[in-house]
Structure 1
């Protein structure tokens, strides 16, 4: 099956300090050479520590940011070559669910106006048809029609996120970027929102890029999982493969930190030493070698190739190459 999204050698650098003559002094390599595919109807989870570049990757795929280098193909079309008019049409098929349900909704608009806004922008409905469509969208996410008359401050965090989801569904998109959609919610509410996203995908066939901090969150919604570290993808595999037989030391350390809800089960915790290096001045060789418990001399000198170590299981690690 042809991928819906192809990401090839994607890079995004930010200048954080400039001289008085305009020449950059420091550059943050937020995303540095990321490549992956997303297939129609699947959920690709993208995880990593804060600042690893996963949210920036999502925004680049939507072209909310312009890249430093690389390509993103959506339905075979390179979006970075698209004109403003072409991007307007593409945005109907590419939507985002934001992390913060409190900041992402306009407090001066009713819920009905918020959900109706994409329909008005793209001239998809008007009048009575618009009101009917808003009620349908609210019903899809577990809210009632009368909620359309209320304002965001009258809702809980979980209900606000449902409004954000309804807004993302309004244009019937093919791709939805879920940018840490449950991280600001209580644990009990997180499961409700995750189940809602899975049910909507099953009903409408959406394709998700699900961005999160923890592997325990993406495990329940993802078909494949990618792990990012300091702007680069270090491992990518199917859900069962990654959780059952992780190859990269960083992935193994992340999985060892996931709590097990059984006091009789004891896990060997892998404690990483040191801090995450600065993306302004990343280490030579493998970027993880300063914290890696399997570090070898070659790791300090040469960056590992992101390669397919097993069928469908990609990893960038010299230690795996030597296994």
Structure 2
């Protein structure tokens, strides 16, 4: 019975993470949710945020970026993903001189899967869920910062349970009067317990990127609007053949490059757009942020290229001294 349920679970996970004919899935795991940006801003940037501070959600991208936040903050986010998946995220960070500390929870869940121990009528329904509880610390010394995140992980499929752990390590630097930020991180290094007979693979990643403030100008006219135009890029490589992204083309190079534009208008509106070059079912991403200090509201729109639908993400940030 357990072996059968295990096989059913694997099939479900493959189908959720966009398996399709002609595409070979490589060590796919439901823990791929760790590669899905927890916040609307990160999703709008195509997850190319290793060099861009994104509030408390930097815990899951590059924890060293917490040092470059000007104030402490809270963040909550809800994502409507494809295949009836719902992703929830909440976190906070607090600044203490050169140190910044943060904590976060991130999870995904889908329900109403039919269980069968033989062909025919189902014996009931069950759900699958994945959960991360994290703590992070960052230390800044001049223009440089280092950070670490520790995660407790849990996966639940029907009656099967497994716990595990993972770490994110990051470093970053701000240069040229803070107009250039460079970042590097190694994410999701750890291990899971066996889920029945085997353990789920963690989506370990090596990431490096840069963000540059290109130009700042004002629109002509009586009511000038200051506009700041920035660009960001990120290169990522899955580690140890544990690639668990949207899909893997057989014999393909799984490295990918994300590039994007960030436009800030009058310190009130931020517009994001990004494109990912590499193996993905969602190459485009768009989003916006509305700044109403001390609150920021974010939204992102992520279409899938294979007709699986469109994901939407909504988030709110609150900053305090």
* TM-score, normalisation: structure 2: 0.29
* Structure with a larger share of its residues in helix: 1
Larger radius of gyration: 1
* TM-score, normalisation: structure 1: 0.28
* Structure with a larger share of its residues in strand: 2
